[in-house]
Structure 1
Amino acid sequence: MHCIGVDVSKQELVTFDGTKERIFPNTRGLAEFDRFLKRLTDALVVFEPTSTYSRRLETLCRTQRISCCQLNPRVIPHLRLVGKGRSKTDSTDAELLYRYGIERGRQEAAQLENDELAESIQARLACYRVAQKSRVAYQNVFEALSHDPATSDVLLDEIRAEIGELKHKEKRQVDAAQKLVKEDPETKERLELLLSIPGVGPITALTLLALFRKYGNANRSQIVALSGFDPIRIQSGTSVHGKSRISKRGNREVRRRLYEATLSAARYNPGIRAIYRRLKEGGKPEKVARTAAARKLLSIAHAIYRSGEPFREPNQEET
């Protein structure tokens, strides 16, 4: 395995392969970096998604079928702490990413599928989130102003109309995403399978569908890691026994949707309900119980997506 740590910025890619640091221009097509990768066998690219700056690298990995490991930006500061207090000048981010790739990268790596449908679904959901966030903000303002006697009815009507328009925008984006799915019979069937899971609604199902299509070859543990639900252990001082928490390295939107879905799944999904109740009755905090339930829900959804079989309630609740 040839592991390459890549620190992505607007203008360049700083890379480290265990022996040498190299810099490549972050230009359209990444021609120079592509030529470099083609000289390697079994390459693994480890990088942090950085909004639009890393899109070219993601596209290159996807189109050239290069295995990659995408880390949450929170990981790098943690790696510096683990690295015995090294400062940013002692170890470049590219080197830290390389080290992580050598230690855990292959376990978490996945190949990005060149899937235009998944990209289109994610784009529609991104527009949906923008409209939803704006609607919630307007609703909060409306709630506050409606209790103020000095607020005019004209202003309240304007805000009410804006909220209504944003709701329409949300619906249009979801409808457009569902229309894309319905154009492909197999994908439509996969979406229906995900919707058969108690607690999984249309937005969560579309979010998971795009994730599973984008990482079509990923196994269960890789999907868990790509979603940031994999555990990491944090040590403090000289203590040998550290606390565990989820890494939060992966897709934040997947985690958010699954957290929301657990509220319903904990009531109507037997397996999720059993895990949630067991942890709560054992004295675990609400956040811990919901995280475990969300991770289990993700595993169930991935298994159903891969198997092609709809959700079936077990004969007895899981523990």
Structure 2
Amino acid sequence: MTNEQQSGQGTMEMILAGAVKLPGVQVDRSEFLAQQFAKYDTYGNMSTILERGPLEAGISLSVIDKLAKTLIEKRTILSTAASTAAGLPGGLAMAATIPADTLQFFGVAMRLSQELAYLYGGADLWQGNTPDSEQVSRELTLYLGVMFGVAGSAPMLRILNAPNSRQLLNEQTRQDLAQTMYYPLLKKISSYIGIKITKKTFAQGASKFIPVLGGLLSGGMTYFSMKPMGHRLREALYDACDHYSEAQLAQDRDKVQRAVADSEINVIEGEFFDLGFDSKPEPAATAAARPEQFSAADELLKFKQLLDMGAITQEEFDRKKSELLNS
């Protein structure tokens, strides 16, 4: 591993350690599932849902997936306001070397990843674990790898989270998989994300409170990034639960093996950091390729939602509206 990769891995570890301590990042699995499936407890099966997961309790995959989609929409909007608050003076306290908006962004992603995992039958991440435990760091790193599209992450997640994985893999095979693929892949994920942060976010100067405009940009970053990231994780979890077969397992093992063996750290669909963390002006050609994401109408909708939530004042909204309509 190069010095740059080692530095990136260290940065990612620092981000995880800081973001996991933010209020609301640690999700209470029982409380969350009880809220999500309250209306499906018509036959007194809530205890089974909490103990073994929604699928094992007889909740259909289509119902779970519908709840997951709704949750992503909800979290995207709510996290925009949270990110904006983090960027305001006097907002969230931050670690000495981590910008507040970066920390908040990862906190939101980590919360959403836990909620999605619990919907599809994931075990309680915090049962017997402390925020600084290796088990927590590994799970969250893999979730983030899938959300950011790091090659090999989604196949690895499907292998580990398929309800029938223990039938498809014996204990020795699972141990070999962990040593030869799982742990090396986690290092690649950490390096990739950490390097992107180091190059693009920290270059702007860490340990500074972000002014109001910075807070609004932080909210926009979350608004345009969190939704596709959430759906990427949702799709991987859905595929793991949708009659995952031995043939699919073999294909996924091959994908992970190739990703680990590749000397480069690749992504599946581009770099999500370019949506918000990049400190350099976006090339005109790139901006033109996705006008729907940055139209005045979308921007106005986003700021109207922030106004309705109380994250910004009417005066701030009117000023931003005037800027957008006159630009």
State TM-score, norm by structure 1: 0.26
Q: Which has the larger share of strand?
A: 1
Structure with higher Rg: it is 1
Q: Which has the higher contact order (CA 8 A, sep 6+)?
A: 2
State TM-score, norm by structure 2: 0.25
